[in-house]
Amino acid sequence: MASASQILHTIILLGSLQGIITGCLLFFAVHGNQNTRLLAVLIWLLALASLNIYLNYTGWYYANTTLAILHAIIPMVIIMPVGPLLYFYVRSSLDPTFQLTRKHRIHFLPVIIDLIPSFVVIVCLIGVASGFFTPDPKPWNVFIDDYNVYSDIPRWISVTCYLVLSARYLDGLKNKEGSQSVGVTRMQQLIRIFQVFQIIWLAYLVPYVIPSYTDAMLEIFSWYPVYILMAIMIYWLGIKGYISYLSNVASRKKPAAVASLAPGIIQETVLLLQKSMEDDKMYLNPDLDLHSLAQHTGIPQKTLSAVLNQHMKKSFNEFVNEYRIEAFKQKLQQPEINNFTMAAIALECGFNSRATFQRIFKEVTGSSPSDFRKSVSEKGN
**Minimal CA–CA distance to 241: which of 58, 100, 38?**
38
**Residue 256, pLDDT above cutoff 50:** no
Of 90-94, 174-178, 334-338, minimum mean pLDDT range: 174-178
- Does the domain at residues 261-380 carry the CATH identifier 3.30.70.20? no
Distance CA 45, CA 16 (A): 10
Query: CA 21 to CA 345: how far, in whole Å?
Result: 48
Least confident of 171-180, 182-191, 362-371: 171-180
3-state secondary structure 275-322: HHHHCCCHHHCCCCCHHHHHHHHCCCHHHHHHHHHHHCCCCHHHHHHH
Please check whether residue 46 is in contact with residue 82, taking contact to mean a CB–CB distance below 8 angstroms: yes
Provide mean pLDDT across the span 154-167.
96
| Residue range(s) in the chain whose domain bears CATH number 1.10.10.60 | 261-380
The answer to whether residues 231 and 22 touch, using CB atoms and an 8 Å cutoff, is no
pLDDT at 47 over 90: yes
Instruction: For residues 120 and 140, give the distance between their C-alpha atoms in angstroms, rounded to a whole number.
Output: 8
State the Cα–Cα distance between residues 227 and 10, nearest whole angstrom. 12
User: Going by C-beta distance under 8 Å and a sequence separation of 6 or more, which residues neighbour residue 235?
Assistant: 15, 18
Strand (E) or helix (H) holding 125: helix 112-130
Single-letter residue type at 135: P
Q: Specify the CATH architecture of the domain 4-253.
A: Up-down Bundle (1.20)
The percent of residues in the chain predicted with pLDDT above 70, rounded, is: 89
CB atoms within 10 A of CB 348: 15
Query: What is the model's pLDDT at position 101?
Result: 85
Asked whether residue 255 carries a pLDDT value surpassing 70, the answer given is no
CB proximity list for 212: less than 8 A, separation 6 or greater: none
- Is residue 253's pLDDT more than 80? no
Give residue 251's pLDDT: 60
- pLDDT of 146 > 50? The answer is yes
Nearest by Cα to 145 from 208, 222, 74, 58: 208
Query: According to the model, what pLDDT value does residue 208 have?
Result: 64
By CB atoms closer than 10 A (0-12, 13-18, 19+), residue 172 is exposed
pLDDT at residue 1, rounded to an integer: 47
Quote the pLDDT of residue 164.
Answer: 96
Q: In this structure, what are the phi and psi dihedrals at residue 100, rounded to the nearest 5 degrees?
A: -70, 135
> What is the predicted pLDDT for the residue at 258?
47
CATH 1.20.1070 domain position(s) in the chain: 4-253
> What's residue 131's pLDDT?
81
DSSP 50-113: HHHHHHHHTTGGGSSHHHHHHHHHS-----TTHHHHHHHHHHHHH-TT----GGGGGGGGGGHH
- Out of 44-53, 118-127, 166-175, 277-286, least confident range: 166-175
> What's CA 372's distance to the chain center, in Å?
33
Range in 58-67, 73-82, 194-203, 270-279 the model is least confident about: 58-67
Indicate the average pLDDT of the chain: 84
Q: What share of the chain is helix, strand, coil (3-state, %, to 5)?
A: 80, 0, 20
